[in-house]
Amino acid sequence: MSQKRVLITGAAGFLGSHLCDRFISEGYFVIGMDNFITGDPKNIAHLSSNSNFLFIQHDVTNFINIEGGLDYILHFASPASPIDYLKIPIQTLKVGSLGTHNLLGLAKAKNARLLIASTSEVYGDPLVHPQTEDYYGNVNTIGPRGVYDEAKRFQESITMAYHRFHGLETRIVRIFNTYGPRMRLNDGRVIPAFMGQALRGEDLTVFGDGSQTRSFCYVTDQVDGIYRLLLSDYPNPVNIGNPHEISIKDFAEEIIKLTGTTQKVIYKDLPVDDPMQRQPDITLAKKLLQWEPKVGREEGMRKTFDYFKNLTEEELHKSEHKDFSSYNK
């Protein structure tokens, strides 16, 4: 049986790089693609000499040509944190629209199955809790966060159009907050932000009164859910995330306890359109994929903190003067 080939865009990103590892471990030949606008070459450096990995530096918003056959495509190229998509809003919209269109065309030409990385952000600031896949969302299309939310909502729409009109094999994963090694310390998400502040001896910044809730899924669990969804026969969106919810205020106290530091929690104004609740309903994933998260928050946070502790002083202080304006992710 010939070796299956998979293209993973955003391969040098946090999730993309872990997906490369998983597919190589499963015996696939992996073609990684990234333009490094937010990805980090260090995330895939360990794969440079692997005979089952080929890297192509390319912007997916431009025409894509891959030599040879493809069995699967996973589209994970996109800014994924508020710091990024507020700084590069046009690129964020383009990678969700033009980039997705290009990859759908490639999948059609290669007769490949395409899985797109959607997000819990399609639900906006939800009016139902927890969020199920049949909830249409509550999104401010013209707010500062709309560039990301709407890029992902359009991405879902055009993917389903190709599925219905062309009969293309497509899958849609709605990713909820995910964490683990290879996150960027300065990307504005709550886990690296809190851990970076703790490691630098700074007070931990909470926006609003800290009553907003989040749920955090460890990266190996997320990757396993994505892998199972790709190989399933289900074309509609599926939530993959950890349903165990915690308030940001309580989470800050957990980080202080984990890091053994003596900082206090300080409060700043809540940013525009920051969702107050974010928790997946994973009933569908449990039934369809026989999937649920296995790594508890205490274990996952320890592994993540150990990763951040080993960063260089230069890396640690890159985020020192950032204004983390949102902790949605």
Instruction: Categorize the per-residue pLDDT at 169 as very low, low, confident or very high, splitting at 50, 70 and 90.
Output: very high
Tell me the pLDDT tens digit for each residue of 91-109.
999 999 999 999 999 999 9
- Asked whether residue 212 is assigned to any structural domain, the reply reads no
Sort 10 into a burial class: Cβ within 10 Å, 0-12 / 13-18 / 19+: buried
- pLDDT for 121 equals 92
Q: Is the model's pLDDT at 254 over the cut of 60?
A: yes
Domain that holds residue 50: 5-177+218-240
- Asked whether residue 79 is assigned to any structural domain, the reply reads yes
- pLDDT for 46 equals 98
Catalytic residues: 148
Instruction: Categorize the per-residue pLDDT at 22 as very low, low, confident or very high, splitting at 50, 70 and 90.
Output: very high
What's the structural domain count of the chain?
A: 1
Q: Report the DSSP pairing between strands 72-75 and 53-57.
A: unpaired
- pLDDT for 313 equals 60
Tell me the pLDDT tens digit for each residue of 263-319.
788 888 876 656 677 889 999 999 999 999 999 999 999 999 999 988 766 566 665
- Number of Cβ within a 10 Å radius of residue 295: 19
Average pLDDT, the chain: 91
- Asked whether residue 140 is assigned to any structural domain, the reply reads yes
- Asked whether residue 134 is assigned to any structural domain, the reply reads yes
- Asked whether residue 270 is assigned to any structural domain, the reply reads no
- Asked whether residue 39 is assigned to any structural domain, the reply reads yes
Q: What is the mean pLDDT of residues 67-85?
A: 93
DSSP state string for 95-124: HHHHHHHHHHHHHHHHT-EEEEEEEGGGGB
Instruction: Categorize the per-residue pLDDT at 50 as very low, low, confident or very high, splitting at 50, 70 and 90.
Output: very high
Assign residue 145 the CATH number of its domain: 3.40.50.720
**Cα 197 from Cα 199, distance rounded (Å):** 6
- Asked whether residue 298 is assigned to any structural domain, the reply reads no
- pLDDT for 273 equals 58
- Asked whether residue 56 is assigned to any structural domain, the reply reads yes
